[in-house]
Each structure stands twice: as structure tokens, then as C-alpha cells.
Amino acid sequence: TMPGPLLGRHVVVTSGPTHEPIDPVRYIANRSSGAQGAAIAAALRDLGAKVSFVTGPASVPPPDGVDVIRVETARQMRDAVEAALPADVAVMAAAVADWRVTNAVERKIKKDGSGNPPALEMVENPDILAWISQLERRRPALVVGFAAETHDVVENATAKRKRKGCDWIVANDVSPATGIMGGQENAVTLIRPDGVEAWPRMGKDEVARRLAEAIADAL
């Protein structure tokens, strides 16, 4: 068989949601299934890459043939990505929680009979994509981010590419009516420094294959 175009390359992929604890039995989460991230990891593996797959608690299983690093919180995900470096490519497909609860506690919060709910205090999580994009010596040569948007998809994602300092952004419309979040299909726009390419709606596996090929072509 032909050697894959990504043979000898190391790619770090983040995937899935993160869970941010409130107490031992409760957490803040989001609707990410991890399906697109898992498909991307599998497609990169199929092209010969060594894949470090850093995944939050996803509802789809990780692919075979990749190094699976399971994490729960955004901070654990950042640490796991850092530990996986150096890498040639980073694809940040995780739906990282933007905030975590600063007053999380070790014992289950009980109703106190007053009718008053507990007040959750929150702080912003580290932005893993922005962090990896600004590394100097250890920055992967190609950093790919995602932008899940519900409106003005290309405008918002183009601004996000600049703000985060990544090379490419895969933008997708996650308006509830699209059924994309949690679904089998995706409609993405690939935003690169030299242009914008809207791909037709297709299966998440096919999006992953095309993205992996674009990555192989770019290296």
C-alpha cells in the first residue's frame, strides 16, 4: 500500500465538550457530541498521522488507532494538549466551556429550606486555541480552529481567526434549525488567510476527510 501523506506527522486534536464541576454530582456542560472531532482524528489517522486525541466527555466513542487522552475540564484539556506537544498540526474541535465555577465545592450542595438557590460564581476558562496559536518555539506549524456560529457565520469566523491567531478556521452554522449540533451532517466554510471556501452540506465523516486532505496538502 501507498504510505500516507501524513506519515511521520504528529497531530493534536481536541474534541467533545468539557464538564465544569459545580459539586461532586453536578456540572456545567454543552451539547457537543464530539462526532466531528472523532471523525477528524480518524481521517488524519487514515492519512498516516500519529494522532493525540484529547477528548472531553463525548457521547461518541473515540476512534481506534489514535492515542486517547481523556479529560473533563478545560484546564485539564489545556494541560493535556501542552503535554502532547510538540506537534506539526493542532486541530481544536472541542467545544470548550467558556467559563468554570470558581466556588465549586467538595460536598453536594443541599437545599437549605430558604427557597434561595445557590449563587454560582464563574471565571473565564483558558482559551486553548488562542494559547497554542501564540506559542513561539512549540507552536504547531498549522493551527486549525472551529467557529460554531448561529448568525453572520463568515464575518464572525473571519474575525475569530484574527483574534485567536490561528491559521485556519472551520466555521459552521449551529442554528438549532440546521440540526448540525448532535447530528450526522455538517455544513462548513473553511476560512484561510488567502480565501474563503463554502463546502456543501455533507456527512461529518466527509467533512473530516476533506479537511484532512487539505491539511496534508498544506504541509
Provide the minimum distance between the beta carbon of 64 and ligand C5P in the complex, in angstroms, as a whole number. 23
96 lines the binding site for ligand C5P (CB under 6 A):
yes
In the set 27, 53, 146, 168, which binds ligand C5P (CB under 6 A)? 146
User: CA geometry: angle at 13 spanning 151 and 182, to 5°?
Assistant: 45
Q: How far apart are CA 215 and CA 204, in angstroms?
A: 16
In the set 33, 52, 55, 125, which binds ligand C5P (CB under 6 A)? 125
Asked whether residue 112 is marked as a ligand-binding residue, the answer is no
Beta strand segments in the chain, E = 10-15, 20-23, 26-28, 50-55, 67-70, 89-92, 99-101, 122-124, 142-149, 168-173, 185-186, 188-192, 195-198, 202-203
**Cα within 13 Å of Cα(166), Cβ side:** 29
C-alpha cell at 211: 479537511
- Could you say which residues in the range 66-85 bind ligand C5P, by CB under 6 A? 74
215 lines the binding site for ligand C5P (CB under 6 A):
no
CA dihedral 148, 151, 157, 163 (to 10 degrees): -100
x/- mask, ligand C5P, residues 18-57, rule CB under 6 A, reads ----------------------------------------
Nearest Cα residue to 128 out of 171, 193, 52, 75 = 75
Name which of 22 and 93 has its Cβ closer to ligand C5P. 93
180 lines the binding site for ligand C5P (CB under 6 A):
no
Q: Which residues are catalytic?
A: 30
Provide the minimum distance between the beta carbon of 45 and ligand C5P in the complex, in angstroms, as a whole number. 19
101 lines the binding site for ligand C5P (CB under 6 A):
no
3-class secondary structure, 197:
strand
C-alpha cell at 216: 496534508
145 lines the binding site for ligand C5P (CB under 6 A):
yes
Name which of 49 and 153 has its Cβ closer to ligand C5P. 153
Asked whether residue 146 is marked as a ligand-binding residue, the answer is yes
Q: How far apart are CA 95 and CA 115, in angstroms?
A: 33
Sequence ranges of the binding site: 98, 108, 126-129, 146, 160, 164
In the complex, which residues of this chain contact ligand C5P (CB under 6 A)? 14, 74, 92, 94, 96, 125-129, 145-147, 160
